[in-house]
A and B are shown apart, each in its own frame.
Chain A
Amino acid sequence: MTGKERIRTVLEHHEADRIAVDFGTTPVTGIHCKVVEALRKHYGLDDHPVYVHEPGQMLGYIEDDLAEALGTDTAGCFSPKNSIGVWNKDWKKYRMPWGQEVMLPARMVDSFTEKDGGLYSYPEGDKSLPPSCHMPERCYFFDSIERQQGEIDDDNLNVEDNLQEYGEIDDETLSYWKTVTDRAAKTGRAVVAGFGGMALGDVARIISPAIREPRGIRSVAEWYMSTVCRPDYIKELFDRISTLAVKNLEKIYSVVGDNVDVVYVCGADFGTQTSQFMSVDTLNDLYVPYYKRMNDWIHQNTTWNTFKHCCGAIYPLMDSLINAGFDIINPVQIAAKDMDPQRLKDEFGDRVTFWGGGVDTQKTLPFGTPAQVRDEVLKLCEIFSKDGGFVYNTVHNIQANVPVENVVALMDTLKEIRS
């Protein structure tokens, strides 16, 4: 089977010739550049600085040679612009505070401000604006800086303000998507694309590090509170976003067609470690109708599968997410409350594909031994892979502090299972 056939088979809830695997095709199934560098070294691949395509989380690009070494069945197509709104091109070498040389867009690198052992970056790399991201000393990521403009005036809230980052797709971007999906399809692996414009209430977007002068509700806490105290505003916003998204999807589909296998729809988290952020009723009322609008259009007009990222303890919300039309749930945070792998598989495994959940990244992978990693990978693959409906990935990205021997143990165990 090709990677594409393998992914398609498990998405149809059949077992493939071996477990399907993804590493690095989305902002939530990736690997920190520090670990990417260590893996390249481990597999004896060409020694050059890792390209960082998503600087917020400092995710390293998994080039074809590493994808081959990892046995990845997927090829990622990323947004042309990174998280601060800079085009991922004109790469320039930069030494990060922990000493690693990486490649980042020159426009971003040239605008960095180094201060107190850390770094600041700016929307679109424009230093005349206040910084929108900060990487403090001892940190391996760029965290967004909240730029909420004053107190929210409920009497004058205008939904247009929270639509700043959404708009009709332009010809240059359409042409980009055609080029990258054509190229990805030629790899024979399943094509995973993050077209953007479909996120509903993803706080990583709400906080808006790419926007020059954010307006509307731009504080994370304020957004969460708004799900309780401003439901009408949220519904109006989601109605506008999902309507525009369908319009853009029509255009995108007309150029990329069925080259795409999986489309990343939304990364909004509805769970904390121990509970969800909202009741089932609130999710059904505020979010599901608008997710359904986008997912239904995709299912009625394309062969794409829809991918929903949602961290945390979301067991009570699973039915609603499936009913909203999502084919894929990620990251399957098995260490969160009530997220028992066997229970998830038994109750939802025939209706949704688990893309993730392959090893706990809060404890086992960063702090366990290689033997513990191996045991957990074996156990979880056995549970999740039965009858398909599973694409192997860790629970969220592999973080900077993970010992490379643990990642190698993970990869070796996968090879053993798949051989």
Chain B
Amino acid sequence: MDKLYDAIFKGMAPLAKTAVLEALDNDKSPQDIIDESMIPAMEAIGQEFEAGNVFVPNLLLSARAMKSALEILKPLMMAGLTTTLGTVVIGTVKGDLHDIGKNLVASMLEGRGFKVINLGTDVSKERFIEAAKENNADIICLSALLTTTMDYMKEIVDAVRADGLDIKIMVGGAPLTQDFATSIGADGYSSNANEAVVVAKKLLS
């Protein structure tokens, strides 16, 4: 199992695929593989990022390795992940096509045990609400890179509240701050992908 942990930590997708197949051959259940190797590896790389020892490219590589392993496991788990921490609907807001940060947050959340519905970019408030309802989501995550699109986040927060949805809203993106998040009525803010997981866990605790 250490082989899978290492492959994800070091961001080596082909090795992660081999390692997960070996783990299955050794009669490990998909859920145990996720809980014992994959989530700890993603937690470890996240901690290294927080400590300033690795950088965004390393997170991207680990996220990709994790996803490649997860793709093998998902079809084997017909009932889905039995121990998800919660369901997250995530997207970059309308008028904004930037998605590297948003995708990284999505991967980090998925890699740490959340079910993630990624709506892509240029997402309208109506689409966020529709997807949150369809998936019975616990959190909506909004991303924006541009100062010209961050204001749309307030429109989304207002629309979600007006709809009466009982759901937490997290926001993130380069020009955002905690003050901005508070001012638009968001429940959570994070300045990077690793912190987003911590915030999401806290919001659902």
Q: Interface of A with B (CB < 8 Å)?
A: 134, 136-141, 143, 220-221, 224-225, 227-229, 272-279, 361-363, 366-367, 399-401
Contact = CB atoms under 8 A, between A and B. Distances in A.
Nearest to B101: A272
* Consensus secondary structure, chain A interface: loop
Given A224-B56, A399-B148, A362 B97 contact: no
Interface residues of B, number: 29
B100 A228 contact: no
Contact of B147 (A139, A278, A401): A401
Contacts of A367: 147
B60 A362 contact: no
Contact of A274 (B11, B96, B192): B192
A155 B194 CA distance: 32
A277 B148 contact: no
Contacts, number: 78
B21 to A, nearest CB: 19
B174 A362 contact: yes
Nearest to B192: A274
B94 A138 contact: yes
Contacts of A279: 55
B159 to A, nearest CB: 15
B94 A228 contact: no
A283 to B, nearest CB: 11
Given A139-B96, A225-B11, A276-B55, A366 B60 contact: no
B58 interface: yes
B11 A229 contact: yes
A361 B147 CA distance: 9
Nearest to A399: B147
B103 interface: yes
B193 to A, nearest CB: 10
A366 to B, nearest CB: 5
A272 B172 CA distance: 13
Contact of B97 (A143, A227, A363, A400): A143
Contact of A273 (B97, B103, B149, B191): B191
Contacts of A136: 94-97, 122
Interface string B120-147: 0010000000000000000000000011
Nearest to B191: A274
B57 interface: yes
B9 interface: no
* Consensus secondary structure, chain B interface: loop
A139 to B, nearest CB: 4
B5 interface: no
B143 to A, nearest CB: 13
B189 interface: no
A1 B95 CA distance: 45
Contacts of A221: 60, 100, 103
Contacts of B149: 138-139
A224 B95 contact: no
Interface in B21-41: none
Nearest to A361: B147
Contacts of B152: 138
A362 B147 CA distance: 6
Given A225-B64, A278-B57, A366 B98 contact: no
A225 B147 contact: no
A140 B94 contact: no
A277 B57 contact: yes
A204 to B, nearest CB: 13
B174 A273 contact: yes
A157 to B, nearest CB: 15
B175 interface: yes
B47 interface: no
B61 interface: yes
Given A136-B95, A221-B100, A228 B148 contact: no
A399 B148 CA distance: 8
A362 B177 CA distance: 10
A399 B24 CA distance: 53
B175 A272 contact: no
B52 interface: yes
A274 B57 CA distance: 14
| 6 closest residue pairs by CB, A with B | A138-B95, A362-B175, A143-B97, A224-B57, A139-B95, A273-B174
A30 B7 CA distance: 44
Residue in B64, B98, B152, B175 with the greatest tally of chain A CB atoms within 10 Å: B175
Contacts of A227: 57
A362 B148 CA distance: 10
Contacts of B60: 221, 224-225
Interface in B143-185: 146-149, 151-152, 174-175, 177
A366 B147 contact: yes
A276 B58 CA distance: 12
Contacts of B94: 136-138
Nearest to A138: B95
A177 to B, nearest CB: 33
Contact of A401 (B52, B57, B148, B191): B148
A272 B49 CA distance: 13
A3 B182 CA distance: 45
Contacts of B96: 136, 139
Given A221-B103, A272-B174, A362-B174, A143 B98 contact: yes
A363 B177 contact: yes
A400 B98 CA distance: 17
14 contacts: A137-B94, A138-B152, A139-B97, A141-B146, A224-B60, A225-B11, A225-B57, A227-B57, A272-B192, A273-B175, A275-B52, A275-B56, A277-B56, A277-B57
A178 B52 CA distance: 47
Contacts of A224: 56-57, 60, 100
